[in-house]
Amino acid sequence: MIQKKKTSVISYDGKIYNANCLKKYLIEKGYKFKTNTDKELILHLYKNLGPDCLKKLHGPFAFAIYDKERKLFFLARDHFGIKPLYYYFKKGLFLFAPELKVIINNPRVKKELDFEALNQYFSTGFGCIPAPRTIFK
């Protein structure tokens, strides 16, 4: 979805459980809605609160917003990580996707395992890799 003034673009997957409450809040702030979609709701909420909009959203979601005015790219997902969101940024290449295979299949992405991260995965007992590491370098 692209805002009318073409200042923001959103790519979104999810469900906002408190959408009606948030829509009412934004209407009281003077925002007008053209659709009844979570995409438009999130864009308006982001315009109103910036990154703090995440504090208001309840439900499983992942989204990316390009904010042309602020020259900012904002990626976010729900607090529990129910909706997956992967990203890659190296040597001027920025990719994001809901599945790791989309990024790994890009020919410009070097597929080199991080053996220290792999060791952490098996030694923590939780089957996870602590941030900021990932399975790939």
Q: Which fold has domain 8-98?
A: Glutamine Phosphoribosylpyrophosphate, subunit 1, domain 1 (3.60.20)
Domain segments of the chain as ranges: 8-98, 107-137
Q: With cut-offs at 50, 70 and 90, classify the pLDDT of residue 130.
A: confident
Q: What is the pLDDT of residues 13-60, one digit of tens each?
A: 999 999 999 999 999 999 999 999 999 999 999 999 999 999 999 999
Query: How many Cα neighbours within 13 Å face the side chain of 66?
Result: 9
Instruction: Name the DSSP letter for residue 112.
Output: -
pLDDT, tens digit, 9 for 90 and up, residues 56-109: 999 999 999 999 988 999 999 999 989 999 999 988 999 999 998 999 999 999
Q: How confident is the model at residue 1 (pLDDT cuts 50, 70, 90)?
A: very low
Per-residue pLDDT at 2 exceeds 60: no
Of 1, 51, 43, nearest to 23 by C-alpha is 43
Please give the structure tokens belonging to residue 35: 């659709």
Q: Cα–Cα distance between 41 and 62 in angstroms, integer?
A: 14
> Quick one: CA dihedral 121, 124, 128, 134, positive or negative?
negative
The predicted pLDDT at position 3 comes to 55
